[in-house]
Amino acid sequence: MKLAPPVLKLIARRSHTLWDYFYVPAKLRSDPVYEAITRELTGSSLPVLDIGCGMGLLTHYLRESGHEVPMSGFDTDQRKIASAQAMARTAGYGDVVFKVGDACGKLPGHQGHVVIVDILQFIQPERQVLLLQDAATRVAPGGKFIIRSCLRDSSRRFRITVLGDWLARLTRWMNHSPVAYPSAAELEGHLSALGLSVTIVPLWGGTPFNNHLIVAQRAA
């Protein structure tokens, strides 16, 4: 379910900078990923680990949609983690933990759902495979490993996404450069080999990007 404008405003008021005050509701309104993940997780009480959580926006979307499960997230960007911690504190959320951490290192202990939104492209292909393997061990029986990623293909959308990622880097909005985008076949192959059943659907929304939602579920 889409969050109503007054709820987006409520979340925006938790921001600690003027930029974030305008960015947060615009991002939550325009990017279909938060609603799509909320739909996937609704009805489950398993905790959620958000790898590369940025400012923790998924947590706000889930909680304001009534999804009260324990949430943890980490990101390499200290500034974003400080914002995530401050916003969650202002919201008064319990059972929410944000830390600085690197998806290329050892992942924190966790059993539940695992989410990765828009970070695979910043990681070398061989490390992406290790990350998928490590993250999959944290997916509990009945749990989902949900990934949103641009997929490498020959489309115009793909080229626009690469350009967008480089612009984000050059304007210093992102402090990582894109290095490799997985193809649908690669992700499907890796995740199936890890014992998960995989579905991949486009998640374009109103954007020009080649984003897809990959849901890999472990049998209950």
Ligand X SMILES: C[S@@+](CC[C@H](N)C(=O)[O-])C[C@H]1O[C@@H](n2cnc3c(N)ncnc32)[C@H](O)[C@@H]1O
Q: List contacts with ligand X (CB under 6 A).
A: 52-54, 57, 75-77, 80, 102-104, 117-119, 122-123, 176
**CB of residue 130 to ligand X, shortest distance in Å:** 11
Closest CB to ligand X among 83 and 217? 83
Task: Report d(CA 169, CA 165) in Å as an integer.
Answer: 6
At its nearest, how many Å lie between ligand X and the CB of residue 36?
11
Which one, 125 or 141, has the nearer CB to ligand X?
Answer: 125
Minimum distance, C-beta of residue 141 to ligand X, in the bound complex (Å): 25
The helix or strand, by DSSP H or E, that contains position 72, with its residue range, turns out to be strand 71-75
Give exposure, 166-198, as e/b (b: 16+ Cβ within 10 Å). Answer: eeeeeeeebeeebeebbeeebbbebbeebebeb
Pick between residue 33 and residue 195 the one whose CB is nearest to ligand X. Answer: 33
Helix axes 57-64, 78-91, angle to 10 degrees: 20
Q: How large is the greatest C-alpha to C-alpha distance in the chain, in angstroms?
A: 45
Q: Minimum distance between the CB of residue 220 and ligand X, rounded to whole angstroms? A: 27
Phi, psi of 149 (to 5 degrees): -150, 150
> Of the two residues 147 and 198, which places its CB atom closer to ligand X in the complex?
147
Tokens of 183: 């193809």
* Distance of closest approach, residue 207 Cβ to ligand X, in angstroms: 13
Nearer to ligand X, 177 or 195 (CB): 177
Tell me the residue nearest to ligand X as measured from the CB: 54
| Element of type H or E holding 98 | strand 96-100
* Smallest separation (angstroms) from ligand X to the CB of 24: 10
Q: Quick one: how far is CA 165 from the chain centroid? A: 15
Q: Which of residues 176 and 218 has its CB atom nearest to ligand X in the complex?
A: 176
Are 48 and 115 spatial neighbours (Cβ–Cβ below 8 Å)? Answer: yes
